[in-house]
Amino acid sequence: MSEKKTSNGAETIYWDLSDLYTSGEDPNIRKDQHRLRDLASTFAARYRGTLATAHAGDLAEALRTYEEINDLLGKMGSFAYLQWSTNTENISYGQLMQQINEFSSELSQQLVFFDVEWLALEEERAAELIADERLKSWKHYLTASRRYKKHILSEKEEQILTAKSVTGSQAWVRYFDETLGAARFELDGEQLTEQEVLSKMHEPDRELRQRAADSLTRGFREHRRTLTFIFNTLLVDKFTNDTLRKYPSWISGRNLSNQIADDTVETLVESVQKFYPTVQRYYKLKKQLLGYDSFFEYDRYAPLLQTESRVSWSDAQTMVLDAFNGFNPEMGRIARRFFDENWIDAAIRPGKRGGAYSASTVPSVHPYVFMNYDGRLRDVQTLAHELGHGVHQYLSREQGILQADTPLTTAETASVFAEMLVFQKLLAELTDPREKLALLMGKIDDTIATVFRQVSMNRFEDAIHTARRQEGELSAERFSELWRKTQTDLYGDSVQLTENYDLWWCYIPHFLHTPGYVYAYAFGELLVLALYNRYENGAENFPQRYEQLLRAGGSDWPENLVSKLDVDIKDSTFWESGLAIIDQLVDQAEQLSAQAGMGQ
């Protein structure tokens, strides 16, 4: 029989979306749609065909209206997605999200001329406008957008792509989410959600972990044909778009969006791969400490202590807020609002999407945090991670909707830094070497997942995009073959990958939601290691300078923003210095295991 479910206090933690809309039936949704249609029509009538001769004052006026439209449209889209993600089985939630997606597409088609005409300007004229004082509030947005000049199509072509995405990529991604959201996995006589079964992979009971892994595999097999078709469809859809936009590779569009050069990403990936032996050394240590003769993929997240303590929701809140306040009281003040004003949805329930995220929504409102809190210490870290995002998104709202969001490369900085604050606080409070070792091992588990596993998944993405473009439609077996190859490269002989694990590529949403995204996690983790090292070494006014980094949002190039904290991400040795810190964590774990007399 399965273990009895215990209460942790998060079962009633639901967010209050009324700052967006009160419900899907809120009459303000229809009113706002009417207002948006009027705004978009007036905007198009006023500015279409004028940008070639526009003065800076005209462009500033246009940008203010453009921001108003995008803020209101984003508010509506945020509400629909947030509501739907709490119950992907609710038909009315899905219908509202689809209606708003279609409405958004309709408006985007009216507005696409603005980007097309701006990018059509000659470089000299565009530079004159960007340099004008009246446009300083949008300087980086205007500058960064020019990078797409070679890749934008005609207005009519852009309208077609926007219209077709609603029934194309967006529809297939929604189908993927709803398929896994509705899926149930049989475990010990119970029908559980994917998220509930995945949480068992962190249980101390090895037999339970194995049964959970088998349960997931059985469920994935039932949906294998559907998921394989979804993957193939979205891979070829991206190939079509990349070809039309003349991107040289499958990852080029993502790198452009991330405001980072292709060769910088290649250097990051290659540097991480060079440190794969660190992962293998760590798992061999973990196998020894656990006393196992063999170490399988379902053992990777096994807690070191057999009685992992549970953390109540209220205790998790205290841990996170204490860590935030100890670093920067303003961060703590903002994070507290998420709890006090019900900006968090933490309860696990049927139909709810798996995973966790922080939705920035729009500058006129505030962020919301979504997670599935199960009471484990790693859930406390997840809470810190998402609240790090939330604080970042809250502070960056002052940049306006066109410059509030950061590229994915720096988007993970605040979240991973927040995790580090909580981890270091917990570690400092422990005195028992065994408990310190268990916490450290858990941190290394998460760091490996954030840096090395994400890069191995980047290698899988690279393999499937390349194979789909060269070989045509891929079978489930071909996907599995490429998955096993990239995972074996990472784990070597330190982890025995069962045949069941070959299918575990099929449930990972990042591959479909945001192709090419995963390396940003490694980028963020290694950047944070460098930043935290500077903080620990007493860098002058670091907490205040860090807060300014968060407030800046996406108002400058990533390398310029982090350079204010004495970090040079263009330095070829930067990545290896961060990876060396991870290697030192493994050294520390080996030393603590000796002190604790474990694994001997």
For the segment 267-302, what is each residue's pLDDT rounded down to a tens digit? 899 999 999 999 999 999 999 999 999 999 999 999
- State pLDDT tens for residues 531-583: 888 898 888 999 999 999 999 999 999 889 988 888 887 777 888 888 999 99
Strand, helix or coil for residue 279: helix
C-beta of residue 227 within 8 angstroms of C-beta of residue 220: yes
pLDDT score recorded for residue 568: 82
pLDDT score recorded for residue 426: 86
State the virtual CA torsion across 412, 74, 257, 245 in degrees, nearest 10: 150
Q: Tell me which residue of 156, 45, 49, 69 sits closest to 109, measured CA to CA.
A: 156
Strands 344-345 and 368-370: parallel
Sign, CA dihedral 203-457-225-476, equals negative
Provide CB contacts within 8 A for 163, sequence distance 6+: 105, 109
How many Cβ atoms from other residues are within 10 Å of residue 331's Cβ?
28
192 bridge partner residues? 185
Angle at 190 between CA 187 and CA 191, to 5 degrees: 90
Sign, CA dihedral 582-587-591-593, equals positive
CA distances from 369 to 338, 341, 446 (A): 8, 12, 20
From the DSSP assignment, how many helices (H) and strands (E) are in the chain? 26, 5
As a whole number of Å, the CA-based R_g of the chain is: 24
- State pLDDT tens for residues 131-167: 999 999 999 999 999 999 999 999 999 999 999 998 9
**Which structural domains are found in the chain, ordered by start?**
17-167 (1.20.140.70)
Provide CB contacts within 8 A for 266, sequence distance 6+: none
Q: Tell me which residue of 362, 372, 410, 366 sits closest to 391, measured CA to CA.
A: 366
Max distance between CA atoms of the chain, in angstroms, equals 77
Tell me the two tokens of residue 374. 């199960």
DSSP-assigned letter for residue 137: G
pLDDT score recorded for residue 310: 82
Element (DSSP H or E) covering residue 191: strand 190-192
Tell me the two tokens of residue 574. 């930067």
Sign, CA dihedral 523-524-526-530, equals positive
CA distances from 593 to 113, 287, 294, 334, 477 (A): 62, 12, 19, 38, 41
C-beta of residue 267 within 8 angstroms of C-beta of residue 575: yes
- Ranges of residues in the chain with a pLDDT under 70 are 1-5, 306-308, 599-600
Q: Tell me which residue of 593, 316, 124, 235 sits closest to 243, measured CA to CA.
A: 235
Tell me the two tokens of residue 581. 């810190």
CA distance 68 to 166: 23
Phi and psi at 190, nearest 5°, equal -115, 150
Angle at 17 between CA 12 and CA 21, to 5 degrees: 145
pLDDT score recorded for residue 1: 38
C-beta of residue 16 within 8 angstroms of C-beta of residue 342: yes
